[in-house]
Chain A
Amino acid sequence: MNAEEMRVAALSILRTIAPEIEPAELVPNRPLRQQVDLDSMDWLNFLMALHRQLGVDIPEADYRKLVTLDDLVGYLLGKQRG
């Protein structure tokens, strides 16, 4: 997957958690959880869906690296290569 494909995949998974979001309105370099209003359960569900659909396991210690959508896409791409 390239960065654009990864972004689309992550957003489509995010929409299963928060169906009301408009991907076009998300600012990719601003904190994601505030923009989408995700509580810790939503966040965990999001990570579980990423795990299920993309096969990426994100350790809890890495949560703090995943603030923005850009962070997330970069992280997922890195995991894909590693």
Chain B
Amino acid sequence: MIEFNLPSLGADMDEGTLLEWRIKPGDTVKRGQVVAVVDTSKAAVDVEIWHEGVVHALTLEPGQKVPVGTTMAILREAGESAGQVEAMRKQRSAAKLPPLAAHVEPGTAAVSAPHREAPAAARRPVSPAARRHAQELHVELEGISGSGPHGSVTVADVDKAAAAHHTAPLDRKAEMRRAIAAAMGRSKREIPHYYLSQDIPMQRAVEWLLRENEKHAVTERLLLGVLQLKAVALALARTPELNGFWRGDRFEPGAGVHVGVAISLRQGGLVAPAIHDVDRKSLVELMGSLADLVQRARAGSMRSSEMSDPTITVTNLGEQGAGAVFGVIYPPQVALVGFGRVADRPWIDDTGAVRALPVVTASLSGDHRVSDGIRGARFLTELHDRLQRPEEL
């Protein structure tokens, strides 16, 4: 028997609302399959499963808001019968869960209550179209009275509720602000940051990119930001202590180089979902991944693995004109790389002559519990060197 729990979707997300199931009892699921859509303060996230099995039961209903770690579904493993799984569930719930009333104490009620005793209101039938519509309009389904068959909530009911509660999007904005505040507050309380920067001439990279892009139609063009991402990922090979997590008082190296990309959302706030294995992707593949990720982040449809497992974050505020950025590390990560604007500046070349060259200020925010400034400096130097050899990226 496998209990499938709501996965962590990043440091600033500790609860989620189930929007819809993409599976039903009896379905066979495979690793990486999207099984549910969960709404967080930041976006609707496609939740993937990393087990194989057959869906035995769904223990959460759309509309319920639950903390990370709550059991959402029960799966049968290969060779298990439904009867065996039922018996195991009974045994477990008897051992683990005292009656609900005994469990209610401040701060824990929310953890134990929702998935056992759903409020009656949440069981009201809601048509999938109405649910999707409510999500688009940021309307809470709970307060809506249904006018459809058996009191079900229809699209028209959602519209009516949205008109009555036109302040809802503001609440969502406030919720995202609170989530960012919690994660960044924790970062600044717990992580002893150190900051380094280095000016990196970008002439070679810019010229190489222009030549490459000339050869290709608009659909296959690369952005300079993609070269920067790849250079960061490759440079990390020399300083692996910048890539990973701080968990339980020790450093845990990342299993791959999964670079979180800070993406500002049009409605305000930001997310930093991961592109996986950046060091092993070609520039063309990376461009595709980045375009897809930005598009999905803005549309509010990210995958749970992208939210939960970045091993380092890159932020590029140069786009907005900032000369340099010294970022706040996103816990439990241990480093953040920032790129400022690429702009022509006076630069003294190898011959001692002053020339106008495109230059970028790259910065590193490092976690001093894990790495020292000297290692951080080595990383920035490696990053500088990689960006001088764009053809090798």
Contacts and interface: CB of A to CB of B under 8 A. Distances in A.
Does B associate with A?
Answer: yes
A41 B294 contact: yes
Contact of B221 (A39, A52, A60): A60
A48 B224 CA distance: 17
A18 B264 CA distance: 13
B189 interface: no
Interface in A9-47: 18-20, 37, 39-41, 44-45, 47
A39 B218 CA distance: 16
Which 7 A-B pairs have CB atoms at the shortest separation, nearest pair first? A39-B319, A51-B218, A60-B213, A47-B218, A41-B294, A48-B219, A40-B223
Interface in B260-278: 264, 266-267
Nearest to A50: B218
Contacts of A39: 264, 319-320
B59 interface: no
Given A18-B266, A40-B225, A41-B290, A59 B319 contact: no
Nearest to A19: B266
12 contacts: A20-B266, A39-B319, A41-B225, A44-B221, A44-B223, A45-B294, A45-B295, A51-B217, A51-B219, A52-B219, A59-B214, A60-B221
Contact of A60 (B214, B266, B290, B294): B214
Contacts of A40: 223-225, 319
A25 B38 CA distance: 35
A51 B220 CA distance: 11
B356 interface: no
Nearest to B219: A48
A41 B223 contact: yes
Contacts of B295: 45
Classify the secondary structure of A's interface with B.
helix
B210 A44 contact: no
Contacts of B219: 48, 51-52
Given A39-B319, A41-B290, A41-B294, A48 B218 contact: yes
- A44, A47, A52: residue with the most chain B Cβ atoms closer than 10 Å: A44
A58 interface: yes
Contacts of A52: 219
Contacts of B225: 40-41
B219 to A, nearest CB: 5
A30 B278 CA distance: 38
Given A39-B319, A51-B219, A45 B291 contact: yes
A51 B291 CA distance: 16
B211 to A, nearest CB: 10
Given A40-B319, A41-B290, A60 B223 contact: no
Nearest to B209: A60
Nearest to B223: A40
Nearest to B222: A44
A41 B295 CA distance: 9
A57 B294 contact: no
A47 to B, nearest CB: 5
A52 B223 CA distance: 19
Given A19-B266, A44-B221, A45-B291, 15 more contacts: A39-B319, A40-B223, A40-B224, A40-B225, A41-B225, A41-B291, A44-B218, A44-B291, A45-B294, A45-B295, A48-B218, A51-B218, A51-B219, A57-B217, A58-B218
Interface in B61-87: none
Contacts of A37: 266
A50 B49 CA distance: 37
Nearest to A59: B214
A40 to B, nearest CB: 5
Contacts of A61: 214
A54 to B, nearest CB: 11
Contacts of A18: 266
